Amino acid sequence: MRSKIVAGNWKMNKNLTDTETLLAELSAKLPDTNAEVMVSPTYVNLAGATRALENSTIEVIAQNMHFAESGAYTGEISADMLLSIGVNTAIIGHSERRAYFGETDAILAKKVAAALAKNIRIVFCFGEELEDRKSGNHFKVVESQLKNALFSLDSNAWGKIVLAYEPVWAIGTGETASPEQAQEMHAFIRKTITEGYNAEVADEVSILYGGSVKPGNATEIFSKPDVDGGLIGGASLVADDFVAIIKAI
């Protein structure tokens, strides 16, 4: 079901003490909202975070997961491990995973299938690089990222998918896509899903924007009709900034 979502991508930040402090601050300051609010501490602090937020509406989600059920994958985390600590949602396909850890569309398709097989909800990230936009290939790149990883799914699987359009050139750079650029791409994504599936699937999927969303630009970005929320990196590490972004939705 399409809903408003503000998700914090904490990346490789915050040790145990800092995690506990930020979670306590967020719990205390969380405004009344109809939006789903998610945070994603590092793996080692996920279990503690689920306990700390037991009585909160804030959902704890993972930054990644492996596609195999279990076995000889040193350093990796399975869907079952996440479920066993009460984590039911995972970010898959973040551009940093693609760029630094060699995650291809084919690998991501396997991760998506593995998550869905375990009923794990997915925040699926994708987005073009600066050269793609400069050369006018951004729509084509986004279309192929979507199709390669997601378009072999049954239409009913889309109920477990949240999309996060994150142009790589806007991540951590301070340079945000303009609200118009975000809207243009989100509308294109919905059109692509309508063509690949149908209008109902396209209308029901939440599409988040990510890339240098801050308290100062969130309201304008979130006001666009096809933008259903944000995946927030840097600004999710500061309680007051993240709270301001939640208020903006």
- Per CB under 6 A, residues contacting ligand PGA are 9, 166, 171-172, 210-213, 231-235
Q: Based on CB atoms, which residue is closest to ligand PGA, 167 or 201?
A: 167
- Residue closest to ligand PGA, measured at CB: 233
Query: Least separation, in Å, of the C-beta of 162 and ligand PGA?
Result: 13
Contacts of 196 (CB under 8 A, 6+ apart): 147, 151
Q: Based on CB atoms, which residue is closest to ligand PGA, 38 or 201?
A: 38
Query: Least separation, in Å, of the C-beta of 6 and ligand PGA?
Result: 12
What is the distance between the alpha carbons of residues 69 and 53, in angstroms, rounded to a whole number? 27
Q: Return the number of other C-beta atoms located less than 10 Å from residue 215's C-beta.
A: 17
Q: Based on CB atoms, which residue is closest to ligand PGA, 201 or 228?
A: 228
Q: Based on CB atoms, which residue is closest to ligand PGA, 66 or 214?
A: 214
Q: Return the number of other C-beta atoms located less than 10 Å from residue 142's C-beta.
A: 20
Query: Least separation, in Å, of the C-beta of 173 and ligand PGA?
Result: 7
Looking at residue 54, the DSSP 8-state letter turns out to be T
Q: Report how far Cα 42 is from the mean position of its chain's Cα atoms.
A: 15
Q: Which residues are catalytically annotated?
A: 94, 166
The DSSP result for 135-176, as a single string, is: TT-HHHHHHHHHHHHHTTS-GGGGGGEEEEE--GGGSSSS-P
